[in-house]
Structure 1
Amino acid sequence: MQITGHVHEVGQTQQVSESFKKRDLIVVVAENPQYPEYIRVEATQDKTTLFDGLKQGDGVTVDVNLRGRPWTNKEGITTYFNSIVACKLAKTGSIAPTPDTTPQPAMAPIDISQADDDDDLPF
């Protein structure tokens, strides 16, 4: 599976344990620019270097694997966790524009005091 978008944020490498490290990348996917999606992609172990040299605004295509696992708490309730894990990354070479978050102007108020009383609305 691939995720194509632009870099919103590149996290620092975290040494979780003596033998495990990970790093996050937030990719903005703006198929609908009015409602962009912010997807967290994780890289583990030697793949954490995939995110080296990336900066905000860089266009990227990330090949990912979806992973999931169950976890059962002390009360016996099972919860499921999903991860999106990077296995390959390519810069697209273009810097994508930031989604337009400028508020749209409100509609002008309508004067209903001059409304026609002859309408046939049921309320």
Structure 2
Amino acid sequence: MSFELTGKLIVKEDTVNISDRFKKREFVIDVPNDRNPEWNDTIKFQTTQDRTELIEPFNLGDDILVAFNIKGNKWERDGKVNYFTNLEAWRIEKVGSGSSSTPGAAPLPDQPEALPPEEGEDDFPF
């Protein structure tokens, strides 16, 4: 199941190499709150692997539409259990322009294929 949100790009982090086989990049959009206009929602997304460059063409202040999936993970270490939820962006478009984050490229599929689990990666749950 995929979702979409539209908002103003307010944070664009650098790509972080978690390991030699896994990298991620985070960004944040400011989404108007329809129920209380005084309080906008700030929503953090992440992109991973070959999608870390999706946010690159966009500038802070741009209005963008983000297509994303919700990912949840359970992570156990030393007897402690943690649960993580990530909003995994897989398509980004500038609002009103109709252009995607990968100009000239074929459109991304509606549902990206799941990445295989990383073996031996115990420092991070994702």
In structure 2, the residue matched to 1:12 is: 14
Larger Cα Rg: Structure 1 or Structure 2?
1
Does residue 25 of structure 1 match 2:27? Answer: yes
- Structure 2 unmatched runs, 5+: 98-126
Residue 62 of structure 1, CA deviation = 0.4
Deviations along 1:68-88, one digit per CA (max 9) or x if unpaired, are 01112323x422110100011
In structure 1, the residue matched to 2:81 is: 78
> Which whole-Å CA distance do the structure 2 matches of 1:78 and 1:19 have between them?
24
Letter matched to residue 69 of structure 2? N
1:35 partner SS: coil
Letter matched to residue 93 of structure 2? A
In structure 2, the residue matched to 1:58 is: 62
1:51 partner SS: coil
Aligned CA distance change for structure 1 residues 73 and 19 (closer, same or farther; 3 Å): closer
Cα RMSD after superposing both structures: 1.4
Letter matched to residue 4 of structure 2? Q
Residue 53 of structure 1, CA deviation = 1.9
1:49 partner SS: coil
Count residues in correspondence: 93
Counting aligned pairs with the same residue, the percent is: 31
One of 41, 46, 61 as aligned partner of 1:42: 46
Given the two structures, how large is their TM-score scaled by the length of structure 2?
0.69
